[in-house]
Amino acid sequence: MTEPKQKRLWPVAAGAVAALVLIAATILATLAVTAPDEPQQPAAQALSAWQQEQEVPTPTVEPTPTAGPTLSAANLTLTPKVIKKQCFGSAGCSVEVKVEVGYDGPTLSPDDTWEVIYEVKGDEDGPIIDSFELTGDRYDQDEISVSTKTSKTKISVKVTSIERQG
């Protein structure tokens, strides 16, 4: 007698395992594509009417643009520099003076222009009033002609006023 052939189950089992692996891989791939990169935060709870009334919105404060530092006479040093001098004995001297400006204060904005008005003393006819403009760390100064009574006359310069021009 011949033995009946046993059916082999391993090809069926292998096919079932392959199908399960394929299904699992498909599910994992789908989750990887559709899942967000960041973990989701739990949903916020709705506030009660009382909680909503208690919340005070924080006002948004816009910073106020501030102008640069203010120029003051205390920060300026004006020094007369004699660039030309011709004396005529007892008749006095004709002197060409240029005013040198020294500044000791906070850095001035290059966007601000200041008009500095000053007084020159030493001229035989009395004080001379003149001005120059200062922008940032730059200024232009013209020469001033002074006639002195003697060759020993001291020439001095002082700031009388400062105004912001722009």
* Closest to 112 (Cα-Cα) out of 145, 134, 143, 128: 134
pLDDT tens digits for range 95-129: 999 999 999 988 888 899 999 999 999 999 999 99
* Closest to 118 (Cα-Cα) out of 134, 107, 105: 134
pLDDT tens digits for range 144-160: 999 999 999 999 999 99
Name the residue with higher pLDDT: 13 or 69: 69
* Closest to 97 (Cα-Cα) out of 125, 78, 111, 115: 78
Hey, what domains does the chain have and what are their CATH numbers?
73-164 (2.60.40)
Name the residue with higher pLDDT: 52 or 113: 113
pTM of the full predicted structure?
Answer: 0.58
Residue 17: pLDDT band (50, 70, 90) is: confident
